């Protein structure tokens, strides 16, 4: 099947591993683009999303180090927008290069995306998402005196880290823009880093000191643009139950009900696989005729050729 509208959510390993330099991240994205171009070669309409956790953390550090009264650090929502722009620039540059190498006349554009959240989301009264570096107790006392609105928690004996709210997305302001780009044959890069978290107040969208999970934002975008497929790329080719145990089981074709049962059993780690599984479930629940896929970037070719990966459907899959 070709001409499918597909949202592909890239994991952080597709951009940054150990070397945080611009050159290293650009090179990583050139390698990533070689996998993504396979969708376009077979006629699919591609929409790309990506994480920004390491990048926004590094940017906050750089800003804090250089902040002065006359040149203060920017707020978190603006830092998210800044990394959306920088990663989008690198990604559209890399993908354009690979498209040209494959003699494909396709344009790529980055959309700095605002993702709407509810002002009443309980996450705002219970910040849990760690960002930035570790601090000592003495450093925390000084930082809190200068930033009384910020929240810090002790993290597994490694020091203290700032935590921020991570609200669930309820809308994507630029979803219609993304669809117009797709209709024009352009590959959009959207909801980077989960999008800029905003709340709507009258006719105005106001940025919030928060970060949105990239997989949930990608799901909401896929839902709003009417995607046929949501592909969440991670470090493994498949979802597993009893992961790293003698009775480990690879999931190939699985239903929403089966995944919900596994969640109740505590099969998926909260900080890694669980949000990906929950985002996949949300998408299929909201678009029952569509499917979600969880696999690795390196497995994209096998997925396209024979359906390799974990495919999530509303009801049992009869064939790949």
- DSSP3 helix / strand / coil % (the chain, rounded to 5): 40, 25, 35
As given in the structure block, the two tokens for residue 64 are 């804090």
Q: What is the pTM of this model?
A: 0.91
User: pLDDT at position 320, please?
Assistant: 42
Residue 13 a catalytic site member: yes
Instruction: Measure the CA–CA gap between 264 and 241, rounded to whole angstroms.
Output: 12
- DSSP H stretches of helix in 159-272: 175-183, 214-225, 256-264
Is the separation of the CB atoms in 171 and 115 below 8 Å?
A: yes
Residues 156, 256: Cα–Cα separation, whole Å: 33
pLDDT tens digits in sequence order for the chain, 320 residues long: 568 999 999 987 678 767 888 898 899 999 999 999 999 999 999 999 998 877 887 888 788 788 888 888 889 999 999 999 999 999 999 999 999 999 999 999 999 999 999 999 999 999 988 877 778 888 888 888 877 888 888 876 778 888 899 999 999 999 999 999 999 999 999 999 999 999 999 999 999 999 999 999 999 999 999 999 999 999 999 999 999 899 999 999 999 999 999 999 999 988 789 999 999 999 999 999 999 999 999 999 999 999 999 999 998 755 44
- CA angle at 131 for the pair 129 and 135, rounded to the nearest 5°: 120
Unique residue bearing structure tokens 């997925």: 303
Instruction: Judge whether 41 counts as a catalytic residue.
Output: no
Catalytic residue among 13, 58, 260, 299: 13
- Given the residues 214, 238, 291, 309, select the one marked as catalytic: 214
- Residues whose CB falls within 8 Å of the CB of residue 258, separated by 6 or more in sequence, listed in order: none
If phi > 0 it is left, if psi is from -120 to 50 it is alpha, else beta; for residue 293 that is beta
| Furthest C-alpha separation in the chain | 63
Answer yes or no: 51 catalytic. no
270 noted as active-site residue: no
Q: Is 202 a catalytic residue?
A: no
pLDDT value at position 5? 97
The one catalytic residue in 34, 129, 168, 208 is: 129
Q: Report all structural domains of the chain as residue ranges with CATH numbers, in order of start.
A: 3-126+164-226 (3.40.1160.10), 228-319 (3.40.1160.10)
User: Token pair for residue 154?
Assistant: 């002790």
Q: Which residues pair with 10 in a beta bridge?
A: 50
- Could you give the CA distance from residue 284 to residue 255 in angstroms, rounded to a whole number? 9
The DSSP H or E segment spanning 84 is: helix 76-101
Dist. CA 291–CA 303, nearest whole Å: 13
């Amino acid at each position: 099947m070709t001409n499918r509208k597909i949202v592909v959510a890239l994991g952080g390993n597709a951009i940054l591993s150990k070397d945080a330099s611009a050159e290293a991240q650009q090179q990583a994205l050139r390698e990533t683009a070689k996998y993504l171009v396979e969708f376009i070669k077979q006629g699919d309409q591609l929409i790309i999303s990506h994480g920004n956790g390491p990048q926004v953390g590094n940017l906050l550090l750089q800003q804090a180090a250089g902040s002065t009264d006359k040149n203060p650090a920017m707020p978190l929502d603006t830092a998210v927008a800044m990394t959306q722009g920088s990663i989008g620039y690198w990604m559209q540059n890399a993908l354009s290069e690979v498209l040209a190498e494959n003699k494909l006349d396709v344009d790529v554009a980055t959309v700095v995306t605002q993702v709407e959240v509810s002002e009443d989301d309980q996450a705002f009264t219970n910040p849990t998402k760690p960002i930035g570096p570790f601090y000592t107790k003495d450093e925390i006392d000084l930082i809190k005196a200068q930033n009384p609105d910020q929240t810090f928690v002790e993290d597994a004996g490694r020091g203290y880290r700032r935590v921020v709210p991570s609200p669930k997305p309820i809308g994507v302001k630029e979803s219609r823009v993304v669809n117009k780009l797709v209709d024009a044959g352009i590959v959009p890069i959207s909801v980077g880093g989960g999008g800029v978290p905003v709340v709507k107040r009258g006719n105005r969208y106001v940025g919030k000191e928060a970060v949105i999970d990239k997989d949930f934002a990608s799901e909401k975008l896929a839902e709003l643009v009417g995607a046929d497929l949501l592909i969440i790329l991670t470090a493994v080719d498949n979802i597993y139950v009893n992961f790293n145990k003698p009775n480990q089981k690879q999931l190939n074709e699985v239903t929403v009900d089966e995944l919900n049962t596994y969640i109740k059993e505590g099969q998926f780690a909260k900080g890694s696989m669980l949000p990906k599984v929950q985002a996949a479930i949300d998408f299929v629940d909201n678009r029952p005729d569509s499917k979600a896929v969880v696999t690795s970037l390196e497995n994209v070719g096998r997925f396209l050729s024979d359906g390799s990966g974990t495919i999530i459907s509303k009801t049992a899959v009869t064939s790949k």
